Amino acid sequence: MATFKITHTEGVHMIEAQLENEMIRAESGALYYTIGPIRIDAPLPGPRGILTGMLSGEKFIRPKYTGSGTVFLEPSLGGFHILDVTKGEPWIIAPGGFWASEGNVDLSIKREGFWTSYWAGEGLFFFQTEVKGQGKVIIASPGDVQEVILDNGKLVDENKVVLARTAGISLKIRRPTVRRMHHYWSGEKFARVYEGTGKLLLCPVPYWRNRAALDKKNEEQGQA
């Protein structure tokens, strides 16, 4: 099995993957540099995968790195989380969260229902990456990650702090208040409501350097 390590220096985090005649996948454009005889392939998915990527805005080409050596992925002001995926427990990763995975982890697409997509502000199509099988998956995060376990419970998220969830937890868009008028009076937005039994990965607080960079980027886009 490939070995992933998170390195931290000068305020940034980076993923280092050690391969011994193995293969990993990574997000398109994530490569920083490699050491050793590593072969890089970027095969096109089938027509359905291409169409899904075009509709969702997600990158549908995820290059493969095969061989023996070390693969370094792009450093980030945010963080990373190493997730152990086990058989029988698929995970659904929020858009932009998938960063890399071992080759024996299966990647597919999970589409939310039409109304969930619409009220979530994701347009007509809301696709997320689903990972299943057995192996390690790297999730990109704005900051430190914490795990929450629900036992036929509910979590209400107004700020998109949920990075991933197991398949046993559903996602719906609801107003956070009991009464409709109270929703408008409260000034609260529609919330993402996660219900069921399983696990969620959350990032409630981003690293301050990452938050400052995002605020600056949003300010520059607003002035453009």
Does the pLDDT at position 219 exceed 80?
no
Q: Which amino acid is at 224?
A: A
Q: What is the pLDDT of residue 178?
A: 53
Is the predicted pLDDT of residue 53 greater than 70, yes or no? no
What is the tens place of the pLDDT at every residue in 7-37? 999 889 999 999 999 999 999 999 999 999 9
**Residue 223 predicted with pLDDT over 90:** no
Domains of the chain: 3-223 (3.60.160.10)
Place 161 in a pLDDT band, splitting at 50, 70 and 90.
very high
Model pLDDT for residues 119-134, shown as the tens digit of each residue: 455 555 677 889 999 9
User: Which pLDDT tens digit goes with each residue over 55-96?
Assistant: 545 566 889 999 999 999 999 999 999 999 999 999 999 988
Confidence (pLDDT) at 189:
62
Q: How far apart are CA 126 and CA 136, in angstroms?
A: 25
What pLDDT is recorded for position 183? 45
Contact 69, 116 (CB under 8 A): no
Q: Round to whole Å and give the CA distance between 70 and 5.
A: 11
Q: Give mean pLDDT, residues 150-170.
A: 93
Residue 115 has a pLDDT of: 53
pLDDT score for 131 = 93
Q: Which residue, 127, 125, 115, is CA-closest to 173? A: 115
Query: How far is residue 55's CA from residue 126's CA, in Å, rounded to a whole number?
Result: 9
Residue partners of 156: CB distance under 8 A and separation at least 6: 174, 176, 191, 192, 193, 194
Residue 108: pLDDT over 80? yes
Q: What is the pLDDT of residue 37?
A: 97
Confidence of residue 187 (pLDDT cuts 50, 70, 90): very low
Specify the pairing of strand 127-133 against strand 91-93: antiparallel
